[in-house]
Amino acid sequence: MSVKRKKYSKQFKLDALEMYENGEKSMALVERELGITDGLLAKWRDDLQRVKDPAIVFPGNGNLPEQEARIRQLERENAQLRQEKEILKKVLGIYSKDTK
């Protein structure tokens, strides 16, 4: 049986963080009032502080920030090039044995 994860919108996350930062309530109390998991507000705060730009924080639904998506694309290309290099080495080894 699978467990359904709740998805929170970017605006909900930003509003929750604003509620904590502008209020006199503790982080745990804000989490309880909003019905979110313990520690989730701290994670959202850390994500926001790491990115520093509210426009690109919390991309959601599996979408990566542009920079991370580019890194993943380059890593895939690098892996493919390494494979091709290994294949070429093997082919070269086979042909060099035939000429001896």
pLDDT of res. 1:
57
Instruction: Give the chain's largest Cα–Cα span.
Output: 82
Instruction: Give yes or no for a contact between 55 and 49, defined as CB atoms under 8 angstroms apart.
Output: no
Question: pTM of the predicted model, to two decimals?
Answer: 0.55
DSSP state string for 17-61: HHHHHHSSS-HHHHHHHHT--TTHHHHHHHHHHHH--TTTS---T
pLDDT for 88: 94
For 39-57, the pLDDT digits (tens) are 999 998 888 888 777 677 7
The residues spanned by each domain of the chain are 7-61, 64-100
- Give pLDDT tens digits for 67-85: 777 888 999 999 999 999 9
